[in-house]
Amino acid sequence: VAAAADVPVRVNQLGYLPDGPKRATVVSSATAPLAWQLRDAGGTVVASGNSTVRGADRASGQSTHLVDFGAYTGTGTGFTLVVGGQASHPFDISSALYDGLRADSMSFFYQQRSGIAIDAALAGSGYGRPAGHLGVAPNKGDTGVPCQAGVCDYRQDVRGGWYDAGDQGKYVVNGGIAVWQVVNSFERARRAGGEAALGDSTLRVPERGNGVPDVLDEARWELDFLLRMQVPAGRPMEGMAFHKVHDAQWTALPTRPELDDQQRELHKPSTAATLNLAATAAQCARVYAPYDAAFASRCLDAARRAWAAARANPNVLAPGTDSTGGGAYEDADVSDEFYWAAAELLATTGESQFRDAVTSSPLHAKPADAFWWGGTATLGRITLATVPGVPLAADDLARVRGLLTTAADGYLSTMAGQGYAVPIPADGYVWGSNSQVANNAVVLAVAFELTGAQRYRAGALESLDYLLGRNALDRSYVTGYGERASENQHHRFWAHQNDASLPHPPAGSFAGGPNAGLEDPVAKAQLAGCAPAACYVDDIGSYSTNEVAINWNAPLAWLAAFAAERKAA
């Protein structure tokens, strides 16, 4: 199928919810409003009006107009928005709009599993592959992985988990935030009465039918790996978590997981990784308790040991230079990871030692900053603000909730100031910018849960509009969703662009997005001079704009589940 041409009327190419906001952006330097028509599939005009002139937009470098057709409440497929004789891509208006994306964005994690054969009957034709990294030749790991020189003198079984991204490394910092968001999407949905949609037999995973919600089955694949990354009792730095396991050298593109012949190595434990383990294992203990008490108690024990180890080794920092064969995931400030872990342990146990750790942290009084893999305090704030029964004083809890709604108000005002409603500023287009859009949209959705105010839900949904096509490039960043969707994301197995015998990324795969830093050779060669929001190319070589990653698909899946819930406006 030939890619659709870029058009100046920019819509969510998937569509709109009947009870959600319906806005579009038009690229035009006209200084007077433009007439617009909403046409149904038969070409009949079902709504019309005039645009609002927005003028120059810094992030996209474009002159824009806004169209608001939110007054239209009909449903159907094949709508187009026509402005000045130019039609948008066709889109749907449907309350079932996000049902497919909810499943596909979550199924991404099954497709990224290490240490298990991927079944084409579940993953889709072309996506099956033998298990990777179980020590079957030519693989050398991950069942008995040695440390890098000088780090340890034993081997550890660290099989399983999810490959991080387009590479086949597995990083505890990053695995942590990703699995937290997957589990949190379930915890949130359960509070909203929507857990059935994430329940047993809702996903294409091998564990379907086992009586446990599939989202939790999927997350457990990663949690079991994180637990294996903990230094065993009796070893130096016991209770700490190894920072990461990956190949000694970067592998070429493509490299099928089962054909990776590089030596796998464990890298030195870090305080950040240990606190990622403490936080996610504490969350695990809370959320899995009703389904598997033994697993929940194993999680809690690991979380306590990790917390104690981090307290005993509070400043073991992973260096930015350790990036041969895998990403560094360096972090020079672990105060936010301490806060997050304390919050999860408090919410799970209610113990005063963790309450003291939360309330004595300088971060407890600070504004709710945007979260990402290197900054996790707001994950802790979300847990404190939303999990029922957290034993903090009522006024303190109200204050934490207020920090989150204040952050959400900030994202709304950032959105309102731009031609494309994006909850990041013009200077925020860094590596993985799409994940920052999605993470900030998660905060908007949390503010909706806390207050019931529709403007927050609208902000979360409009953030999805940006990711699905209403943007500087007229592009959906999610494979399989939209007329002009990314399909050549950087990946060693879904490398169709380099090898026609391999598949494209599966539907629901989320590109990292525009990165004004131009941090790879393809971006440097093709994107010189780009406006920040246009610094993106759908080329497999552009890993700094077009990779997939577990910590990026996680907020997309979280949001898709939120958007798919039927909520009356």
Minimum CB–partner distance for residue 512 and ligand 9MR (Å): 6
Max Cα–Cα distance, the chain, nearest Å: 74
Beta bridge pairs of residue 247: 264
**Amino acid present at 496:** H
Helix or strand (DSSP H, E) at 295: helix 293-312
Minimum CB–partner distance for residue 169 and ligand 9MR (Å): 6
The region, left, alpha or beta by phi > 0 then psi within -120 to 50, assigned to residue 202 is: alpha
Q: Which residues contact 214 (CB under 8 A, 6 or more apart)?
A: 106, 198, 199, 200, 201, 202, 203, 205, 207, 208
Cβ proximity to ligand 9MR, 295 vs 431, nearer residue: 431
For the record, the structure tokens of 459 come out as 């902000």
Cβ proximity to ligand 9MR, 197 vs 328, nearer residue: 328
Beta bridge pairs of residue 27: 64
- Quote the crossing angle between the two packed helices 172-191 and 214-228, to the nearest 10°: 150
For the record, the structure tokens of 250 come out as 């970067």
Minimum CB–partner distance for residue 513 and ligand 9MR (Å): 11
Cβ proximity to ligand 9MR, 165 vs 302, nearer residue: 165
Cβ proximity to ligand 9MR, 139 vs 489, nearer residue: 489
Minimum CB–partner distance for residue 369 and ligand 9MR (Å): 15
CB 534 within 8 A of CB 563: no
Unique residue bearing structure tokens 């329940």: 199
Cβ proximity to ligand 9MR, 167 vs 214, nearer residue: 167
Closest to 473 measured CA to CA, from 111, 178, 89, 183: 89
Q: How many CB atoms lie within 10 A of CB 79?
A: 25
Cβ proximity to ligand 9MR, 28 vs 378, nearer residue: 378
Nearest residue (beta carbon) to ligand 9MR: 327
CB 151 within 8 A of CB 266: yes
Phi, psi of 96 (to 5 degrees): -95, 10
CB 542 within 8 A of CB 488: no
Q: How many CB atoms lie within 10 A of CB 113?
A: 23
Sign of torsion, CA 103 109 111 113?
A: negative
Unique residue bearing structure tokens 């950040």: 272
Sign of torsion, CA 150 169 221 274?
A: positive
Minimum CB–partner distance for residue 276 and ligand 9MR (Å): 14
Minimum CB–partner distance for residue 329 and ligand 9MR (Å): 6
For the record, the structure tokens of 484 come out as 């002009």
Minimum CB–partner distance for residue 430 and ligand 9MR (Å): 7
- Quote the crossing angle between the two packed helices 214-228 and 99-111, to the nearest 10°: 30
Residues at the site binding ligand 9MR, with contacts judged by CB under 6 A: 164-165, 167, 169, 327-329, 431-432, 543, 547, 549
Cβ proximity to ligand 9MR, 432 vs 469, nearer residue: 432
Minimum CB–partner distance for residue 166 and ligand 9MR (Å): 6
Write the DSSP string, 500-557: TTSPPPPTT-B-----TT--SHHHHHH-TT--GGG-----TT-TTTSB-BHHHHHHHH
Residues known to be catalytic: 490, 538, 547
| Cα 334–Cα 399–Cα 339 angle in degrees, nearest 5 | 15
Cβ proximity to ligand 9MR, 57 vs 547, nearer residue: 547
Cβ proximity to ligand 9MR, 252 vs 294, nearer residue: 252
Minimum CB–partner distance for residue 112 and ligand 9MR (Å): 12
Cβ proximity to ligand 9MR, 176 vs 459, nearer residue: 176
Compute the distance between CA of residue 426 and CA of residue 407 in angstroms, rounded to an integer. Answer: 17
Residues for the chain: how many in total? 569
Minimum CB–partner distance for residue 377 and ligand 9MR (Å): 17
